Amino acid sequence: MANYKIIIQYDGTRYKGWQRQKTTDQTIQGKIEAILSRQYERTIEIDGSGRTDAGVHAHGQVANFRIPEACCEGKTPEEVCEELKALFAQYLPEDIAVVDVRAASERFHSRLNVVKKTYVYRIWNAEYPNVFERKYMLHDPQKMNVKAMQEAAEYLLGKHDFAAFCGNAKMKKSTVRTIHEIEIRRIGEEIRFTYTGNGFLQNMIRIVTGTLVDVGTGVYLPEHVAEILEAKVRANAGPTMPAQGLTLWEVVY
């Protein structure tokens, strides 16, 4: 079995998330698997670096899949990659694009080998909406103190139990994660939150952002974030922000 790695970009607006589902064909994973399975006349499953939720976008999602050697007989890995690029370009809808295809090592796994991920959450912080990028950022006209949010973010850096920021109330696995960097900056009317860590829990970025926005609008003082972390109670943290502002930006191996 030959292993291939792909980098995918998608506008998640009209999809039910990354993960395939039995009840709908409107998932990113499902769309790509359908094309591969039809091409090679057998079931081809792909593994993604993580599961983005419904409405979440990706600039650099990574996935890998295996193709039986018999399907590529007589072709070099480079030739197969070019064929796959053409296949995706022809059959994927216009809001999904495979931007790179490479032959991968036998042991490469897009989820298990991740070293760190970067997500971006964007807020359009003006009285009027952003007409042209409304699908990719949240419109919130409230006045926000960026410095206070930056101070609050400092408490989240490092290795912590992020149970208070997990959207899965029945989570049985460890909720300990490491956040390497949080950057919050104003770019004109936009406030952009950039998070880099070794991994993130379900809805974690959206809940962390909601909590930081609460700090920015004066609901909490920055140091209250440390108390939220310590209590490990979801109800103590801020709201889960809407999906459209979130983009999986980069995955590093």
Residues forming beta bridges with residue 101, ordered by sequence position: 6
Q: Cα dist. 183→13, 140, 187, 235 in Å?
A: 25, 19, 12, 25
Q: Cα dist. 41→108, 190, 207, 216 in Å?
A: 24, 47, 42, 53
CA 101 to chain centroid: 19
Nearest to 194, CA basis, from 99, 119, 117, 109: 119
Return the number of other C-beta atoms located less than 10 Å from residue 97's C-beta: 14
- Active-site residue among 25, 47, 53, 95? 53
Q: Active site includes 53?
A: yes
Round to whole Å and give the CA distance between 24 and 32.
14
Phi, psi of 37 (to 5 degrees): -65, -40
Q: How does strand 190-197 pair with strand 116-124?
A: antiparallel
Q: Is the dihedral of CA 61, 64, 67, 73 positive or negative?
A: positive
Residue positions annotated with a catalytic role: 53
